[in-house]
Structure 1
Amino acid sequence: MAVEAGTQEEHVTGRVWTVRLDPYGRPSAGTVRLSCSRPACADQRLPNTAAGRKAAVGHVNTHLAHIRAGGGPRPGAWCGCRAADCAWHTPDPDTLPKRRTGARPSAGAVRCGGPVVLAVYADRAGRLWRIAETCARCAAATPDCRVLDTAPPPPRPTPAPAEAGQETTQKPGAERKPAGSTARGGAAAVFSDHSPSPVSPVADASSYAATGPAPVPRARATSPATTPGQAKRWGKIAQRTVPYDLQPDALRLELIELGDAFRAYQQRAEPDLALLAQLQERKARAFALWANATGNGSLRHEAKRAESAAQTTRDMHSNRVGRPVSDTMSEDEPVVERLLTRNQAAHARTVLDYVQAHAPHPDAEVRLAVLLLTLRAARTGTGNITGQDLTGWLPDDAEQVLERLIAAGWLRLPGTVTETLASQPEDPTAFTVPTLQPAQPHPFTFGKTTRSRISGWAQKAVGDRKIRKKKLGATTRLLALYTAAHTRPDGRLGHAEDGGLHLNKIAAFCALPPEKVAEHAALLVTADWLTEADTAQGMLHGQLAERALPLGGLL
C-alpha cells in the first residue's frame, strides 16, 4: 500500500492539476474562461463552450505529456484525494456511521490503499477536468475517473552482504514483478464508473495504452446491497440520486418516474411545452415533499425553481398558440400565432397610456400620429419616417398634424413639412422627439426587439386592409388599436371579471364622447374587425374577429 494512516509525513502530497471552464462576461455572449490550477498556466478566453471544451482537452493532454516525460506517477506520493479529505468520492459504506448525521467523515475514517496511480476525472457537464496522483482505492471510488498509469512499487532495501566482496545468490523466480505491474510505458485507461460519460476526459489517453489494465480495485457501490426480494428500484433526477430508503415509498417512485420522464422528453424530436409545464409542476410538488421529508434546504430551492420554470413554460405556450396551458381549456378555443407575446402586449398598453397622457393636443389625428411616432423613437428619441408612412396614417390631415406637433415643440424635423411628405423609402427623414431623448427621464423599459414588434403591431392595426378600404378615420383606427390591445386569448374584449371595456376609458383614449363609442364600434363590425359590439351598462362588450386575433393583446 502506497498510502497508510500514520505514515503520511513520510510522503510528498500527490500532485493535482485542475482545469475549469467558467462563464465569462455577459451570459448572452456565451464566452467562457479556461483556467488551470497551475500558476504558470495563464487564463484563456474562448468564444463559446464548444471551443472551450476543445481547448480544455488539449490543455489536459499537454500536462499529461509533461507528466509522462517526467516519469509518470511517483511511487512515494501521498494520495491527493486523501489530502482533500476524500471529497472527490463517497466514503466506503463499511466506514460510515450507523446514524447519518450529514457531516463529512474524518480523513482517518476513509481507507486508502493500493499503488499510486495517475487518474483523470471529467465531470459529465464538461466544465471540470482533474489530473491527480491518488491511491488506487480512491481512484476506483471516484465516478467518471480514468486510471492512466500505475506507479511501480518503491524499491525494497537489499540486505548487505555478510562479508566484503561476498556475492548474494538468488533462486530463480525468487524476485518477481508484482502481479499486474506494467512497464514505464503505462497502463490501459480504465474507468472506475462503468456507465458511459458524454464528455471524453482526454483525447490523448490512448498514448498511455499498454498490454493490460492497471491493477486497481473495483468501484464500490454507493448504496448498501439488499437481499433478494428486498431490491428496490433506484433512479436519478436533476443530477440527484433518489435514496433507496426514502420514505414514503410513493414519493420515491414519483421522483424516479419523473427522472425517467424528463430524460424521455429530452429525446423528443419536437418540443411540447404543455407536457414540459406539467412535468415541471410535478417536479415542484415532488421536490417540496422531498425537502419536507429530509429537511434539505437545497431541495426546497429546487422546488421553487421548478415552479418558476413551469410558469415560464406556460407563458411560452400561451404566447405561441394563443391559449393557456390548463386542464379545463376548451377545445374550440382558437389556436393562432400571436404577433406579440404577453409581455410585449403589456408594454404596448403602457405606450397607449403614455400617449394618452402626453399628446400635445387631444384631437384623434394628433394622438394617432403621436402614437406611431413615439413607437419609432421610443428608445433613443429619434427615428425615420417617409411621406408614404404619413399619408397612410393620415390620408388628408398629415401636413396639418405635423405643423401642429412642430409648433407645440413635441416634434423636430431637419427640413420643412413639405420635404418630409416628399421623402421616399430610400431616403427617409430623420425626426426627433425631445421628450424621449436619453437625457430625459425615460418612460419605457423595453428593448429594441420589443420596440420593433410593438411598432409593427400598431402599423398593422392602423393600416388594416379592410379598415383602409372602408376609409375609416383616425378615431375609428384608435378604437381598433385599443380593442386589439385589451383582448383576452379567446378574442373577448376586456378582463374576464369586467366582461368588457369601460366606455369612459375608451372615450378618453380615442378623444370622443362616450356616447359616440357605439357608432365607431359598429364601423369596426362592418370592417370585420369585431364580430359583435354592445355598449350596454357603460361597457363595450364584443369579440375580436378571427382575422384580427393575431393582433390580440393576451390579457
Structure 2
Amino acid sequence: MAVEADTQQGRVTGRVWTVRLAPYGRPSAGTVRLSCSRPACADQRFTTAAQARKGAVEHVNGHLAHVRAGGGPRGDVWCACRAADCAWHTPDTLDGHRGGARPAAAAVRCGGPVVLTVHADRAGRLWRIAETCARCAAATGDCRVLDTAPPPPRTAPAGPAPDKAAPQGGPAGRAAEPSGPVGGATAVFSDHTPVTATPSSPPTVPAARTTSPGDASPQPQQEGKIAQRAVPHDLRPDSLRVELIELGDEFRAYQQRTAPDLSLLADLHDRKAVAFAQWADATGDGSLRREAHRARKAAQTTREMHENRCGGPGGAAASGDGPPVERLLTRGQAAHARTVLDHVPGLAPSNEAAVHLAVLMLTLRCARTGTGNITGQDLTGWLQEDAERVVEQLVAADWLRLPGTVEEALASRPEDPAAVVVPSLLPDEPCPFAFGKTTRSRISGWAQKASGDRRLRKRKPAAPARLLALYTAAHIRPDGRLGEAGDSAGDGLGLERMSAFCAVPTEELAEHAALLIAADWLTEADVDVEAGTLRGRLAERVWPLGGLL
C-alpha cells in the first residue's frame, strides 16, 4: 500500500497490509470474501470457510515473499503501530496500564529496531503484516516477529556543542551513543554532558570509600515476589520468608518449561498453600488465607488433570506401560454426568428407551436455565426415525415446549435453531444439578460423542444399546474395568439401575452388551442375572470418553 511521509520526523511510515475474511451474500450460502488493504489486490470469493482461510494464508505468504525479495523490513521507517496511535496493543501488555483503557500515543514509548511482524487473530478472520518497532511488536497480542531490519547508520558528532551534535535516534528522541573506543574525541551521551578522554590522560578510577567497622551497613536482605506480592524483608520467621522467595522463583522457572509436569505443579501449589497459610497467621491478612485456599483447590484440580492424562494411580499409563490418556471429562465432571444419568428415569414422562435418550440429551442442553437450542439434525441424530414421534410425545406430556410445531423444530438448521424449554428445569423449580456452564457444555459434548460413536453407528444400534454405551462409559476404573461409584474393587455394574436407565428388562441387557462388543466398545461383558451385575471392560479406543470413578 502507499506510504505517507511524516513531515515532523522526515521519515516514512512503515508498510501495512491487512487481509480480512468476511461473509458474502446470504448467510445460508456460506460464501466468504477475502479482501486486502493493498489497492492492487482484487477481492476473492470462496465457497467454504476452510478454503477462504487457506487462500488468506497463501495471500499473506505472497506479500511476505515480496517483502523479503525487496530486502526485508526497512530500518529507517517510522513505526506503523505508533502511526495508528498504538491501537494494536493488547491492553494487558501495556506498561502501567494493565486492565485499563489504551493510553494516548504520547504515553507509549516506541523503541528497538524495526521488525517485520505478522498478526493473526484467534478467530481466523484477520491477518496483518506491518513494519513496527520491537516494543510495539512485544505489546501486540498474537503477533509474530519474522525479520529484523539492520539499524540505520549513525553519524559521529559534528562539533563540540552537544545540542547540535546529538542526532535524534528514533521515536523516543534518544541521543545516539558512540559504539567503539573513544580517543581524542568528544562523546555525547543521552544526558547531553560532554566527556573528553585523551590518550595521555587515562580515566581515573575513584578510590574505594573507607568506612569504620561501626559504620558498616547490614547485609541486604534477599528480596522476592510470589503471586504478584512482594515478600517483606522483615517477615518472620526467616525460614518462611526464604520459602516464599524460593517458591516464587520455582513458579517462574516452571513457566519457562517446554513441557508441562502436572505432578510437579501440584506439589508447588501444595507448598504455596502451606506457606500462605503461615504468612496469614503471621500477619493477620485475610487475603493471604484466601490465596492459600485457592492454592489448595489448584493442587487438587492439577492432580485430577494428571490422573486424567496418565490413567490414574495404577493405570497403564501411570506405570509406564502405555501413553497418557487425554480424557474428555475430569473426575468431577464425570461425577456430575453420573448424577444426570441417575435422574433420567425419574425425569422421563414414560418408560421407553427412545424417550429416555431424548430426555437425557435435552436435559444436558437445558440443565442450567431450563432453555436451550436444538436443530433438526440434533433430533434425528439422537432418535433417528423415531424423532417426530418421541418429540410429539414429550410435547404432549408438557415435558418439552417448542416455539412452533414439531415439524418446524425438525426442519430447523444450525443458523436458525429452535429455542426449546424444559419446564421442570426452569430456575423457579428445584434443580437436581449443581454445575456451571463449562461443566454442562463438557458433559453435553461427551454424551454427543459417546452416543454418536462412528463404529457404534455402523451397527445401527437401537436406543437401549446407545444408552448402555453411555452408562458403561460413565462408570469405569483407570484400567477400563466397569464398576460402581464407591466400589473400590470395581466388581461390575448393577443390573437393576442399568435396566431402569436403559428402559429394558434385565434379560435383554446381554443382547445389547453383545452389540457393544461387536462395535469394539466393550472388550468383554459378562451379564450375571443371578448376581445382578454386569462385569466387563471398556475398549481402549474409547478410554478418552470414559468417566473415571
> What is residue 53 of structure 1 aligned with on the other side?
96
Q: Which residue of the other structure, out of 479, 486, 495, is the alignment partner of 1:503?
A: 495
Task: Indicate whether 1:514 and 2:506 are aligned.
Answer: yes
Aligned runs of 1:138-177 on 2, under 5 Å? none
State the 1:252 CA deviation: 8.4
> What is residue 164 of structure 1 aligned with on the other side?
none
> What is residue 240 of structure 1 aligned with on the other side?
231
> What is residue 545 of structure 1 aligned with on the other side?
539
User: Which whole-Å deviations, capped at 9, do the CAs of 1:454-492 have from their partners, x for residues lacking one?
Assistant: 222212111111222112111111111111122234433
Task: Indicate whether 1:310 and 2:353 are aligned.
Answer: no
CA RMSD, 1 decimal: 4.7
Aligned runs of 1:263-412 on 2, under 5 Å? 263-284=252-273, 306-319=295-308, 322-323=311-312, 329-332=318-321, 335-412=324-401
Give, in whole Å, the separation in 2 of the partners of 1:378 and 1:244: 49
User: Which whole-Å deviations, capped at 9, do the CAs of 1:202-222 have from their partners, x for residues lacking one?
Assistant: x9999x97979xxxxx9xxxx
Amino acid at match of 1:433: V
User: Which whole-Å deviations, capped at 9, do the CAs of 1:124-165 have from their partners, x for residues lacking one?
Assistant: xxxxxxxxxxxxxxxxxxxxxxxxxxxxxxxxxxxxxxxxxx
Give, in whole Å, the separation in 1 of the partners of 2:418 and 2:337: 25
Task: Indicate whether 1:525 and 2:517 are aligned.
Answer: yes
Query: Relative to 1, partners in 2 of residues 1:210 and 1:309: Cα closer, same or farther, differing over 3 Å?
Result: farther
State the 1:56 CA deviation: 11
Query: Relative to 1, partners in 2 of residues 1:210 and 1:318: Cα closer, same or farther, differing over 3 Å?
Result: farther
Query: Relative to 1, partners in 2 of residues 1:225 and 1:320: Cα closer, same or farther, differing over 3 Å?
Result: farther
Give, in whole Å, the separation in 1 of the partners of 2:216 and 2:506: 79
Give, in whole Å, the separation in 2 of the partners of 1:530 and 1:352: 19
Task: Indicate whether 1:431 and 2:420 are aligned.
Answer: yes
Query: Relative to 1, partners in 2 of residues 1:225 and 1:205: Cα closer, same or farther, differing over 3 Å?
Result: farther
Give, in whole Å, the separation in 2 of the partners of 1:305 and 1:411: 40
SS, match of residue 307 in structure 1: helix
Query: Relative to 1, partners in 2 of residues 1:269 and 1:359: Cα closer, same or farther, differing over 3 Å?
Result: same
State the 1:525 CA deviation: 1.3
Give, in whole Å, the separation in 2 of the partners of 1:389 and 1:361: 21
Query: Relative to 1, partners in 2 of residues 1:529 and 1:334: Cα closer, same or farther, differing over 3 Å?
Result: farther
State the 1:235 CA deviation: 6.6
User: Which whole-Å deviations, capped at 9, do the CAs of 1:424-470 have from their partners, x for residues lacking one?
Assistant: 54554443322233443444443444333322221211111122211
SS, match of residue 402 in structure 2: coil
Give, in whole Å, the separation in 1 of the partners of 2:330 and 2:545: 10
Q: Does the 8 Å contact 2:370/2:424 carry over to 1?
A: yes
Q: Which residue of the other structure, out of 462, 465, 473, is the alignment partner of 1:484?
A: 473
State the 1:509 CA deviation: 1.2
Q: Does the 8 Å contact 1:461/1:551 carry over to 2?
A: yes
TM-score (normalizing by structure 2): 0.53
State the 1:300 CA deviation: 7.6
SS, match of residue 262 in structure 1: helix
Give, in whole Å, the separation in 2 of the partners of 1:429 and 1:473: 26
> What is residue 464 of structure 2 aligned with on the other side?
475
Query: Relative to 1, partners in 2 of residues 1:300 and 1:387: Cα closer, same or farther, differing over 3 Å?
Result: closer
Query: Relative to 1, partners in 2 of residues 1:205 and 1:240: Cα closer, same or farther, differing over 3 Å?
Result: farther
Give structure 1 stretches of 5+ with no counterpart. 1-46, 63-202, 213-217, 219-223
Give, in whole Å, the separation in 2 of the partners of 1:518 and 1:259: 57
User: Which whole-Å deviations, capped at 9, do the CAs of 1:25-84 have from their partners, x for residues lacking one?
Assistant: xxxxxxxxxxxxxxxxxxxxxx9555582489989x99xxxxxxxxxxxxxxxxxxxxxx
Amino acid at match of 1:367: H
Amino acid at match of 1:474: A
State the 1:359 CA deviation: 0.4
Amino acid at match of 2:524: E
Task: Indicate whether 1:262 and 2:251 are aligned.
Answer: yes
Give structure 2 stretches of 5+ with no counterpart. 1-89, 108-171, 176-189, 195-208, 210-214
State the 1:363 CA deviation: 0.9
Q: Does the 8 Å contact 2:372/2:420 carry over to 1?
A: yes
Query: Relative to 1, partners in 2 of residues 1:393 and 1:53: Cα closer, same or farther, differing over 3 Å?
Result: same
Give, in whole Å, the separation in 2 of the partners of 1:431 and 1:284: 45
How many residues are treated as equivalent by the alignment? 355
**Larger Rg, first or second structure (1 or 2):** 1
Q: Does the 8 Å contact 1:372/1:455 carry over to 2?
A: yes
User: Which whole-Å deviations, capped at 9, do the CAs of 1:503-538 have from their partners, x for residues lacking one?
Assistant: 222122112233433332222111111112233433
